[in-house]
Structure 1
Amino acid sequence: MSAFLGPIHHWLFRKINLFETLEKNIVTAISEKYDEDKTIEITKNTQREYEEFIPEKPLEELIDESNIHGWLQNKISIAELRQAATIKEIINTFGNEAISIIKDIYKEQATSIGKEVANSGKATNAIELYQELNNYLLEGMPCDNVNNVISSSPEELKWQITQCLHKPYWDHVGMNSDTMYDLRHVWIKSFVENANSDYTHSTDNENGISQHSIF
C-alpha cells in the first residue's frame, strides 16, 4: 500500500465502515426482538473492551498519516474482534435463535448493495461480479492477497482462500468459527444473486482449503 493517503485507503476504509454497520444493524435488530437493556449492555461491554465504533468523519480527520497501513490494519482487527465478541454474547444471552436474526441482517445488507450494483450495470458476468464483491466484502488488507483465483471466465470464476484472516479473531473470543463462515456465505450469495440474478455463489472445503465459485 502507498505511504500516502490515496484512493485505495478510502476504498478500504469504506469496507471497514460497511462491516461496522453490520454490527450496528445486528445490535438494533436484536434489541428490537429481545431485551433492549441487555443488548445495549452487550454492545457497551464489547465497545469498552475492543474500542468504540469509528466516528462518522472523513478518513482524513481520523487516520494517523504517519502510520496509514498500521492504522487501517488496527481498525480491521478491532472491527473483526468486536463483531465476533458481540455475536458470541448475543447468542450466549438470547440463545441460538438469535443466529437467524443475525443472518437476516447479513442478507439484508448484501441484498441492498447487490441491487445497487445491479442498477449500476457493473456486474454483467462472473468476472465483474467477483471484482464488485471485493469492493464491499472485508478481506483484510490488500497486501494480504488471500484470494487466489484458480479459473476465470465470464461464465464462471473460482477462487481459493489461501489463508483465513477471520478465524483467528473468532478463536480469540472463544466463538465457533462455523457461524462466521455461514454468515459470510449468506452475505456473498445474497450479494451475487441480487447484483446479477443470472448468477449464484457456492462454497466448499477441499482438504482444508475453502473454495468459492460464482457461476
Structure 2
Amino acid sequence: MSAFLGNIHYLLYNKIKFQSDFCDYLLNVMKEMNIDDKIKLEVISNVEANTVNLKDGDLQDIVDLSNIHGSLQQMIIEVETKLAYIVDQIDRNEIMNIENISKIGFEFGVKNRLEGQHSPIDVYSMITGKILNGMPCDRVQTLLESEDSYVKWIDRIDIHENFWSALGRSSDDFYQIRTEIIKGLISNIDVEFKELEEKVYMLFKVEN
C-alpha cells in the first residue's frame, strides 16, 4: 500500500469500522437483555480486559502515517479478535446462542440497509465495501461470474479462522453471522443472497 492515504485505505477503514460498530451493537443488545447483572458485568469486564476498542476519529488522525499498511493490519486484527471474543463470551455464558446472535446480525444489517434499485454487481460492490474480509492484498474474494441478473464469487481462503480457533471455535460461527448481516443489508431491495456451496456465493435479482 502507498505511504499516502488514498481511497483504498478509507474503504478498508470503513469496513473495519462497520465490524467495530457491530461489536458495539451486539454488546449493547446484551446489556439491555433481562439477565443477571452479574453475568453482564462479567462479560463486559472480560471484553474490556481482553480486547481493544477502535479509536474514534478520522483515519488520518488515528493511523500511523509512517506505516499505513501495518497500522490498518493491526486494526483488522483487533476488530476480528474482538468480534470472536464477544461472540464466545455471550455464547459461553449462555446469554445467546449463535442462532440468536445471527438474528442480531440481521437486525444490524437492516439498520444499515441499502436503499434504492441496484444491479447485482452494484450490490456486490456495496456489500464488499462494508464487510471486512482481510486486506486488499490478501485477495480473498474472486468474482467468478457477472451477468445482468446475478453475480457469483468465491472466498478463496478463510481469513477469519485463526481468530475463532484461538478460542476453540469454528469460523463457521463468523460466516453464519456474516450471512445474516448481508441479508439484513439487502432486505429492502430486490436482490437476494445465497451460498451455493462452501465459500461460493451469489447475489441474484428477484423478479416481482
Query: Could you say whether these structures have the same fold, taking a TM-score greater than 0.5 normalized by the shorter chain as the test?
Result: yes
Cα distance in 1 for partners of 2:106, 2:121 equals: 22
| Alignment pair present for 1:163 and 2:157 | yes
**Alpha-carbon distance, 1:40 to partner:** 3.4
Q: Percent identity?
A: 28
Letter of the aligned partner of 2:24 in structure 1? K
Cα distance in 1 for partners of 2:179, 2:38 equals: 31
1:41-83: CA deviation from partner (whole Å, max 9, x where unpaired): 32332332232x1122222221111110011111111111121
Cα distance in 2 for partners of 1:165, 1:48 equals: 25
Other-structure match for 1:199? 191
1:181-214: CA deviation from partner (whole Å, max 9, x where unpaired): 21111112222332x2x21000033xxx510000
Cα distance in 2 for partners of 1:26, 1:183 equals: 11
| Alignment pair present for 1:124 and 2:124 | no
In the TM superposition, 1:20-39 aligns within 5 A as: 20-33=20-33, 34-39=35-40
Q: What is the aligned residue count?
A: 203
Other-structure match for 2:202? 213
CA RMSD of aligned residues (A): 1.7
Letter of the aligned partner of 1:135 in structure 2? G
- Label 1:164 to 1:132 Cα distance change in 2 as closer, same or farther (>3 A): same
Q: Is the 8 A contact 1:106 1:183 kept in 2?
A: yes
Other-structure match for 1:110? 109
Other-structure match for 2:183? 189
Cα distance in 2 for partners of 1:37, 1:57 equals: 33
Letter of the aligned partner of 2:49 in structure 1? R
- Label 1:68 to 1:36 Cα distance change in 2 as closer, same or farther (>3 A): farther
Other-structure match for 2:59? 59
TM-score, normalisation: structure 1: 0.87
| Alignment pair present for 1:137 and 2:131 | yes
1:139-177: CA deviation from partner (whole Å, max 9, x where unpaired): 111111111111101201000110011122111121232
Letter of the aligned partner of 1:211 in structure 2? V
SS in 2 for 1:94: coil
Other-structure match for 1:18? 18
1:74-96: CA deviation from partner (whole Å, max 9, x where unpaired): 1111111121011111111125x
Q: Is the 8 A contact 2:25 2:108 kept in 1?
A: no
Q: Which runs of 5+ in 2 are unaligned?
A: none
Moved over 4 A (4+): none
Letter of the aligned partner of 2:31 in structure 1? S
Q: Which runs of 5+ in 1 are unaligned?
A: none
SS in 2 for 1:204: strand
Letter of the aligned partner of 2:25 in structure 1? N
Other-structure match for 2:71? 71
Cα distance in 1 for partners of 2:58, 2:37 equals: 31
TM-score, normalisation: structure 2: 0.89
Q: Which structure features the higher share of helix residues?
A: 1
SS in 2 for 1:200: strand
